[in-house]
Amino acid sequence: MMLEVKDISYAYDNERTIFSNIEFTLNKGEILTILGPNGSGKTTLLNCLANIFVPSSGEILIKGVPFAELSLRQVAQMIGYVPQIHIPVYGFNVRDFVVMGRAPYMGMFAKPKKSDYDLVDDALEMMEITHLADRPYTEISGGEMQQVTIARAIVQQPDMILLDEPTAHLDYGNQLRTVKMIKKLAQEGYAVIMTTHMPDHAVLLEGKVGILDRSGHMRVGPTSETLKEDVLREVYRVELKLVYIDEVGRIACVASGIDV
Amino acid sequence: MILILVAVVVSLVSICAGRYDMSIIDVIKILFSKVLPLEKTWDSTMENVVFRLRLPRILAAFMVGSALAISGATYQGMFKNPLVSPDLLGVSSGACVGAALAILAHLGTIGIQIGAFLGGVLAVTITITMPKLIKNNSSIMLVLAGVIVGGFMSSIMGLLKYVADPETELAEIVYWTLGSLAKVDKGSIAAVAPAIIIAGAVLMAMRWKLNILSLGENEARTLGTNVNLTRGIAIVCSTVLTACSVCLSGTIGWVGLVVPHLGRMLVGPDNTKMLPVTLLLGGAFMVFVDTLARTLTGAELPLSILTGLIGAPFYFWLLVKQRMNIQ
């Protein structure tokens, strides 16, 4: 088993509980889409899985070993993290930015070598963004930044990739291209976990879905069984329908008409 | 490569310039006479001036300039803010208090240097202890602690100036805080050079890690970086560099802020290229400024006056050139 999450909870200052009793497993090549309303703790949960936060209770095992027994570097060699798009202060070249994914393999006083840059070039090629290699990271579009940061995670040579709302700030086309890219990552063998606000993305990705509700519990299971109208209605507090659309051959989540 | 050449040329010109004028040919001959058997075509006064006065001073200027510039670059990277200077965590204001105390206690030049070093290190120590007390290790907390310590030290400085004898002590304090290399000799250079070289070498060796720190704490952590340890080493090295240069020259403004900008403009923000370039630029800039300081007028001009007069308009020019890239 790639990832085992055993009954974890998280509370800020041991007072305000964000979520509790979260439990699931994920295998190589599987996708978990985490849904939940604003403030339900999706990002906090993802940060725990990324080893940024330590859960208040419970434990997380990667390849059978608890996080607590691993160094930051060891975890970073197994888990790549793609944060939400943000514009950094310094405009590193895309290549110099992506090569930072090699950090988990390098000591305090090391610099990236040619072999590291070779991996960078491979990752850029895989993401089909070789043309961006020498552009400053601050001067490319949001969708391109997303691809570049995924390339950085690939260069980490992890077993699992986590993405925090990879479709936020992207236009409709780029959102769907990102979803497609995530499916491709799973086919390459990575275990993938992402958070999103769009139930449709869970449908498109066809893997597992985790729905965090307002009380901090998460229902996890195969999307086809777990993504249900009543659950979504309760979680998002809006009228919606899951309908099968013949023309596209899949289920879609659509909101009812809005009465003001 | 070009920058190394620039630094060498600036230094050579600087050796020639001064009250006692010398030709570049003579200077080069004098310098090489130590290693090559050259016919002596100069008098020993010239040799004395070169080896006793100008060479040590240029060495000191280069060390001070590059030390301030790379610690400024390190802080700017680490705190994700290009407006940060090496004084951020209170090292300069602490050094001022230390030096002023030594002046009031009439401890002499060496006493002032030691006082400045201790004051600077103590101020930074207080700054980095504060976030630990509140158990919040974010860099914002560190910056706020630096503001607190800096403000507190400024007030103590005001108090010390207020009680100082205006005729002698106050004048000396003010002169010291404006920075000068006039009192530098071989002894004091030899005393601080090892620390500057070691701290500078450590920063140079870890300069790629500074890139990672500039991504922010969480991202650096997910890339397997122990942020507290890495940042700690960088802060210690930068503090040693700044405190040592303050020891030699008193406080000098602007270099640590402006020179890294110039470096970034020339080669981009990647510290593997930017830090060496910043080191050379800082050194060459300081040698240049110090040469002006001792040749412009009959009396020595304090360095901070010149770095400010040159640095501030220069900074404006840099901002004009970069205006598209700064949000």
Question: Which chain B residue lies closest to A90 (C-alpha atoms)?
Answer: B269
Q: Where are the domains of chain A?
A: 3-255
When divided into structural domains, chain B yields a total of 1
Query: What band does B240 get if pLDDT is binned at 50, 70 and 90?
Result: very high
The region of weakest confidence among A171-175, A255-259, B214-218 is A255-259
Per-residue confidence (pLDDT) for residue B27, from 0 to 100: 79
Q: In this structure, what token pair is assigned to residue B41?
A: 């075509």
B236 lies in some domain: yes
Would the CB atoms of A72 and B221 count as touching at under 8 Å?
yes
Q: Is the ipTM of this complex over 0.85?
A: yes
Spatial CB neighbours of B8, under 8 Å, sequence gap ≥ 6: none
Of A47, A76, A93, the CB nearest to B268: A93
pLDDT tens digit sequence for A149-158 = 999 999 999 9
Q: Report how far residue A252's alpha carbon sits from residue A138's, in angstroms, rounded to the nearest whole number.
A: 35
Check pLDDT > 70 for residue B208: yes
Would the CB atoms of A104 and B224 count as touching at under 8 Å?
yes
To probe the interface with A, which of B206, B223, B273 has the most A CB atoms within 10 Å? B223
As a whole number of Å, the end-to-end CA separation of chain A is 49
Task: Compute the count of residue pairs across chains A and B with CB atoms less than 8 Å apart.
Answer: 82
> CATH number, domain at B94?
1.10.3470.10
Q: What is the architecture of the domain spanning A3-255?
A: 3-Layer(aba) Sandwich (3.40)
Distances (CA, A) of B20 to A183, B23, B33, B287, B295: 76, 10, 20, 17, 10
Per-residue confidence (pLDDT) for residue A13, from 0 to 100: 76
Q: What is the mean pLDDT of chain A?
A: 93
B44 lies in some domain: yes
- Average pLDDT estimate for A2-31: 92
Q: B325 contacts in A (CB within 8 Å)?
A: 91, 138
Question: Which chain B residue lies closest to A86 (C-alpha atoms)?
Answer: B215
- Average pLDDT estimate for B41-57: 81
Would the CB atoms of A83 and B230 count as touching at under 8 Å?
no
C-alpha distance from A155 to closest chain B C-alpha (Å)? 11
The range of the structural domain enclosing residue B237 comes to 2-322
Burial of B293 (0-12, 13-18, 19+ CB in 10 A): buried
The region of weakest confidence among A118-127, B137-146, B212-221, B249-258 is B137-146
B327 lies in some domain: no
B48 lies in some domain: yes
Q: List, in sequence order, every residue forming a beta bridge with A61; answer none if it has no partner.
A: A4, A66
Would the CB atoms of B215 and A77 count as touching at under 8 Å?
no
Would the CB atoms of B211 and A92 count as touching at under 8 Å?
yes
